[in-house]
């Protein structure tokens, strides 16, 4: 490894040692008081974290400053270290908060949660997600740098990860994309302590991590994770590399914890008061819990003053920008959606909702410079290409490759970066690969927009492997996620208007097959979609209500015509967003459910029983054949709907 100008010298080592010991045992005290948590990783990383404090540019007084370094803890179980550092650096995390670790309503939950604790950049829990989040932040930073220049965007993205993160496949997907794009602003620090819950990693892992990352285009550095000078040199080298970097830091889990040092037993359980007492005594530390010496507090607290200076210097760079550039940047930060000119569609047109959605995406893109995204190698099928916008890193079209798992987590990082509204896309059946990251986005209320096309058995000949059945019910059950399944092109417009206003993650579940445009767009349509469901056809004193979403709405309207011919009055309700419908008051929901209620959806549809007396849905996995033939085969036909409706009405008479 080359030698570069150091941030620390041999003279700094005694103070760093004291900082590290204080930090490590502050974490051990937190876990001990909570009688729950993970002391091992924080104690093993304390030396690295202490050195990193001299490299990071953060602004505790202005925690959302655009040009701050981003620090991601992919191993969310190291949360005690996160909170201890935030406290020592001067963020809004008090010593009382540290003492409330893992307690309900505290600022210091078991795993870091974005928006809950000041200074936490991303919600981390499932291992490997954080690495992909960091790649997303690094991609967002590179793109922003191309837009506004290195004077405005010059920060780094650091990611601390462990053996578990690198065992998860998502880390390989994300690293592959980072290496491909040569994201030189990304620095991964690998806490290589060779310990997981079940014991030494050699029971399940033997690959050469250095060669793995070299093959993916990373520059690899190695260091003793307990040598302050080696750590400092490795970080400095990584910052000057033209490639993304990984620092393989050999560490000992639960460093300084006497008999528990290096043991998997220290991973997820308190050390015990006796071991903590004896270990502190051996190191000459104050035995009382949560003690922070004045010189240590001052050394860590320099972060705040350094951050204030960095913000002032950056503000001068911002003021020197051309006025038009400042206005562009301010608009991207504000994410104003009020100036979008949406396409309108004529009644009687026939168009798949994936096609109308492509037109809507381009309309949003034209109005919003920060609206960016792409597909997992399916843009022509998903209809997600942004016309005349170029490709990343210069343009707005981001090609994720066949990496759905990483794509979802990368867009979370992009959303939390602060400048962009990202979308990502794949076939709906492959949303299974994205579920962990969608769940994290929902926890954070991150503004990510999922385009999931080929929404039902209407996929046709590709067969059961490509026909989503249970996915719609799954994602509707997820809190803080709005799932839209529009019936036609104009309802699709209204769904996007509602979704962009909602300021939370949204999914658009779209048809492959053409659907008729059922009604003209009006402002009232947006108001109706805001309620999740609305009456699209009503007859006086209906005997039965047909409720449906997506392609089945037009089918329900046809069935209503046939039911009228046999003397059954029918109301048809379109439900583009089941989640929003559930939020409405009882009287509104009752107004949609006149007479008997029959739900129709080419999916599993178990949730419809909240409203419906019966459901025409899927009980199996579909089959291979023409979409129209499959709809007929599985009972999604006018004749079958009429038959079931007649039985319901007859039973009620």
pLDDT in tens, 297-321: 999 999 999 999 999 999 999 999 9
| pLDDT per residue as tens digits for the range 584-608 | 999 999 999 999 999 999 999 999 9
Quick check: is 327 in a domain? Answer: no
> 506 and 592 in one domain?
no
Is residue 13's pLDDT more than 70?
A: yes
Is residue 336's pLDDT more than 80?
A: yes
Domain boundary (523, 539, 571) is at 523
131 annotated as belonging to a binding site for a ligand = no
> 134 and 16 in one domain?
yes
Question: 436 lies in which domain range?
Answer: 349-523
Bridge-based pairing of strands 544-548 and 596-600 is parallel
462 annotated as belonging to a binding site for a ligand = yes
CATH code, 544: 3.40.50.920
Domain boundary (523, 558, 591) is at 523
The reply to whether 404 belongs to the active site is yes
Quick check: is 322 in a domain? Answer: no
DSSP-assigned states of every residue in 241-278? -SS-EEEEEE--TTTT-GGGTT-GGGSSS---HHHHHH
Which residues have a Cβ under 8 Å from the Cβ of 565 and sit 6 or more positions away? none
Quick check: is 540 in a domain? Answer: yes
> 549 and 643 in one domain?
yes
Which residues have a Cβ under 8 Å from the Cβ of 289 and sit 6 or more positions away? 29, 32, 33
Quick check: is 220 in a domain? Answer: yes
Domain boundary (263, 285, 313) is at 313
Is residue 532's pLDDT more than 90?
A: yes
CATH code, 402: 3.40.50.970
| pLDDT per residue as tens digits for the range 397-453 | 999 999 999 999 999 999 999 999 999 999 999 999 999 999 999 999 999 999 999
> 228 and 121 in one domain?
yes
d(CA 175, CA 191): 16
163 annotated as belonging to a binding site for a ligand = yes
Quick check: is 321 in a domain? Answer: no
3-state class (DSSP) for residue 25: helix
Are 216 and 406 in contact, with CB atoms under 8 Å apart?
no
Are 121 and 155 in contact, with CB atoms under 8 Å apart?
no
| The predicted structure's pLDDT at residue 1 | 58
| The predicted structure's pLDDT at residue 8 | 87
Per the prediction, the chain carries an average pLDDT of 97
Task: Produce one character per residue of 425-448: b if its CB has 16 or more CB atoms within 10 Å, e if not.
Answer: bbbbbbbebbbbbbbbbbbbbbbb
Are 73 and 160 in contact, with CB atoms under 8 Å apart?
yes
> 110 and 43 in one domain?
yes
- Percentage of the chain modeled with pLDDT above 70: 99
43 pLDDT tier (thresholds 50, 70, 90): very high
The residue among 216, 232, 224 whose CA lies nearest residue 248 is 224
How far from the centroid of its chain's Cα atoms is residue 439's Cα?
7
**SS3 of 101-118:** CCCCCCCCCCCCCCCCCC
Q: Which two tokens stand for residue 444?
A: 């954070």
116 annotated as belonging to a binding site for a ligand = no
Is residue 324's pLDDT more than 70?
A: yes
| Residue spans of alpha helices (H) in 181-221 | 209-215
Quick check: is 552 in a domain? Answer: yes
Is residue 359's pLDDT more than 90?
A: yes
| Residue spans of alpha helices (H) in 546-652 | 552-565, 578-582, 586-592, 627-633, 638-652
- Selected catalytic residue, list 230, 404, 552, 607: 404
> 280 and 400 in one domain?
no
d(CA 87, CA 301): 9
The total of structural domains in the chain comes to 3
512 annotated as belonging to a binding site for a ligand = yes
| The predicted structure's pLDDT at residue 4 | 63
> 500 and 376 in one domain?
yes
Mean pLDDT, to the nearest integer, of 473-487? 98
| The predicted structure's pLDDT at residue 7 | 83
Is residue 5's pLDDT more than 90?
A: no
Quick check: is 614 in a domain? Answer: yes
> 496 and 478 in one domain?
yes
d(CA 163, CA 520): 55
| Residue spans of alpha helices (H) in 181-259 | 209-215, 228-239
| The predicted structure's pLDDT at residue 3 | 64
Is residue 385's pLDDT more than 70?
A: yes
| The predicted structure's pLDDT at residue 2 | 64
> 215 and 185 in one domain?
yes
Quick check: is 462 in a domain? Answer: yes
| pLDDT per residue as tens digits for the range 100-143 | 999 999 999 999 999 999 999 999 989 999 999 999 999 999 99
430 annotated as belonging to a binding site for a ligand = yes
> 502 and 360 in one domain?
yes
d(CA 323, CA 114): 33
> 556 and 496 in one domain?
no
d(CA 500, CA 523): 15
| pLDDT per residue as tens digits for the range 233-290 | 999 999 999 999 999 999 999 999 999 999 999 999 999 999 999 999 999 999 999 9
> 403 and 484 in one domain?
yes
d(CA 374, CA 402): 12
| The predicted structure's pLDDT at residue 75 | 93
Map tokens 């109301």 to a residue: 571
d(CA 417, CA 64): 9
């Amino acid at each position: 490894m080359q030698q570069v100008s150091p941030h620390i010298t041999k003279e700094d080592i005694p103070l760093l040692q004291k900082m590290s010991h204080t930090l490590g045992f502050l974490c051990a005290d937190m876990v001990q008081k909570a009688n729950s948590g993970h002391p091992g990783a924080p104690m093993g990383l304390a030396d690295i974290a202490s050195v990193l404090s001299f490299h990071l540019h953060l602004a505790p007084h202005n925690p959302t400053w655009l040009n701050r370094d981003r620090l991601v803890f992919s191993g969310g179980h190291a949360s005690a270290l996160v909170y201890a550092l935030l406290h020592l650096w001067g963020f809004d995390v008090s010593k009382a908060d540290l003492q409330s670790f893992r307690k309900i309503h505290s600022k210091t939950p078991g795993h870091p949660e974005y928006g809950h604790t000041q200074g936490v950049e991303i919600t981390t829990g499932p291992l490997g997600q954080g690495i992909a989040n960091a790649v997303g932040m690094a991609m967002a930073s590179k793109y922003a740098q191309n837009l506004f220049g290195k004077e405005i965007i010059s920060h780094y993205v650091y990611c601390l990860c462990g053996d578990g993160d690198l065992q998860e496949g998502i880390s390989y997907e994300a690293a592959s994309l980072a290496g491909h794009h040569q994201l030189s602003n990304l620095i991964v620090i690998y806490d290589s302590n060779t310990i997981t819950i079940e014991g030494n990693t050699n029971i399940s892992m033997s690959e050469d991590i250095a060669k793995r990352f070299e093959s993916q285009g990373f520059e690899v550095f190695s260091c003793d994770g307990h040598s302050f000078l080696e750590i400092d040199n490795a970080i400095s080298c990584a910052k000057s590399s033209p490639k993304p970097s990984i620092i393989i830091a050999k560490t000992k889990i639960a460093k300084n914890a006497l008999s528990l040092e290096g043991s998997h037993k220290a991973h997820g359980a308190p050390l015990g008061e006796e071991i903590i007492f004896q270990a502190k005594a051996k190191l000459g530390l104050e035995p009382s819990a949560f003690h922070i010496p004045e010189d240590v507090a001052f050394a860590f607290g320099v972060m705040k003053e350094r951050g204030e200076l960095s913000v002032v210097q950056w503000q001068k760079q911002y003021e020197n920008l051309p006025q038009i550039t400042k206005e562009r940047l301010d608009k991207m930060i504000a994410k104003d959606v009020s100036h979008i000119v949406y396409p309108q569609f004529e009644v009687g047109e026939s168009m798949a909702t994936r096609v109308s959605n492509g037109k809507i995406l381009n309309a949003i893109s034209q109005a919003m410079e920060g609206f960016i995204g792409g597909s997992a190698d399916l843009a022509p099928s998903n209809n997600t290409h942004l016309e005349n916008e170029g490709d990343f890193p210069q343009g707005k079209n981001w090609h994720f490759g066949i990496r759905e798992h990483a794509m979802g987590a990368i867009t979370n990082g992009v959303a939390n970066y602060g400048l962009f509204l990202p979308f990502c896309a794949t076939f709906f059946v492959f949303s299974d690969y994205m579920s962990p990251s969608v769940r994290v986005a929902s926890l954070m209320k991150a503004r990510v927009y999922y385009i999931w096309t080929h929404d039902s058995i209407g996929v046709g000949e590709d067969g059961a492997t490509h026909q989503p059945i249970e996915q719609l019910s799954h994602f509707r059950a997820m809190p803080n996620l709005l799932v839209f399944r529009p019936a036609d092109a104009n309802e699709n417009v209204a769904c996007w208007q509602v979704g962009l206003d909602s300021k939370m993650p949204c999914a658009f579940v779209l048809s492959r097959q053409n659907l008729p445009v059922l009604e003209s767009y009006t402002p009232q349509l947006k108001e109706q979609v805001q309620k999740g469901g609305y009456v699209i056809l009503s007859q006086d004193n209906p005997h039965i209500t047909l409720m449906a979403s997506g392609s089945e709405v037009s089918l329900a309207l046809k069935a209503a015509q046939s039911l009228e011919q046999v003397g059954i009055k029918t109301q048809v309700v379109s439900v583009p967003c089941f989640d929003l419908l559930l939020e409405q008051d009882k009287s509104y929901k009752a107004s949609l459910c006149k007479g008997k209620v029959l739900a129709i959806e080419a999916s599993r549809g178990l949730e419809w029983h909240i409203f419906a007396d019966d459901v025409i849905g899927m009980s199996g996995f579909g089959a291979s054949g023409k979409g129209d033939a499959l709809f007929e085969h599985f009972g999604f036909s006018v004749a079958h709907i009429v038959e079931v409706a007649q039985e319901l009405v007859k039973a009620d008479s």
